[in-house]
Amino acid sequence: ARTAADVLYADRFATLRTPDATRTQVVVTTEDGSRGLLGRVTDYLEPRLAARAFDALYACGPHPMLAALERLGARYGVPSQLSWEAYMRCAIGICGACEHDGYVLCLDGPVLASPA
């Protein structure tokens, strides 16, 4: 997030558990350092992706961030599911307002999977 005020649901995610009952690890990054780690999520993730610390990426957020995550996933062979949210006018694939990289998000998404 940009600031601590922009962080959403970190506490809710922290209460989740994996199928083997391991507590979910939540890492918050803020661009101004007001909560969690200083910097962008990509700053935190890149060294961990290089070390093969993750099996997949899942994200929603602004398109520039998603594009950066998609590139990182491709670079390190990590599949991703990214939610390319967009304004959807017709919601039936006719108007093309929600087109992204050849996909019409109201029909094909908004979550698009990228192979490793």
The whole-model pTM stands at 0.81
Tell me what the mean pLDDT of segment 53-58 comes to: 89
Arithmetic mean of pLDDT over the chain: 90
Tell me what the mean pLDDT of segment 77-94 comes to: 88
Report yes or no: 27 and 37 within 8 Å, Cβ to Cβ: yes
Q: What are phi and psi of 59, to 5 degrees?
A: -155, 155
